[in-house]
Amino acid sequence: MRFKLIVAFVEDMQSADLIQVAREAGATGVTLINNARGEGLEPKKTFFGLNLDIQRDVLLFVVEEHLARNVLESLAARGEFDETPGTGIALQLDVEDVVGVAHQIESLTSRAEDQL
């Protein structure tokens, strides 16, 4: 079985909603890293030297390759990544090898077969 890694950088207020959307689209789990920072086209605003950043989370999904595009598109649609600047980004990477998902293989296999 082959996998993709989907990495999403999102506002912390959206994390729970986007995790649910990803699960509905085929993701079987997530690793959440909070307190990330980033900057887009526009520099960050400051107020007397204090950053006015919105807290960001990093969501990591290891997804079976046939389900990955659907998960990625679902995250982008719900997060409005293309419609609203600064809401977040998501990307997909090939995974060479993965361990620790043996308990999820059965579920992943049936979901992938249903999608095909």
Q: Residue 10 belongs to a domain with what CATH number?
A: 3.30.70.120
- What's the domain range around 10? 3-40+48-115
Which three-class secondary structure state does DSSP give residue 84? coil
Task: Identify the pLDDT of residue 107.
Answer: 73
Q: Helices marked H in the chain — which ranges?
A: 15-25, 65-79, 105-115
Q: CA–CA separation, 64 vs 66, rounded Å?
A: 6
Task: Identify the pLDDT of residue 60.
Answer: 97
Cα-based distances in Å from 66 to 3, 29, 98, 106, 108: 8, 16, 16, 15, 10
pLDDT, tens digit, 9 for 90 and up, residues 91-116: 999 999 888 877 777 776 766 666 55
- Provide the pLDDT confidence category of residue 38 given band limits of 50, 70 and 90: low
Number of domains in the chain: 1
pLDDT, tens digit, 9 for 90 and up, residues 63-89: 988 899 999 999 999 999 989 888 889
Mean pLDDT of 49-61: 78
Helices H / strands E in the chain, number of each: 3, 6
Evaluate if residue 11 carries a pLDDT over 70. yes
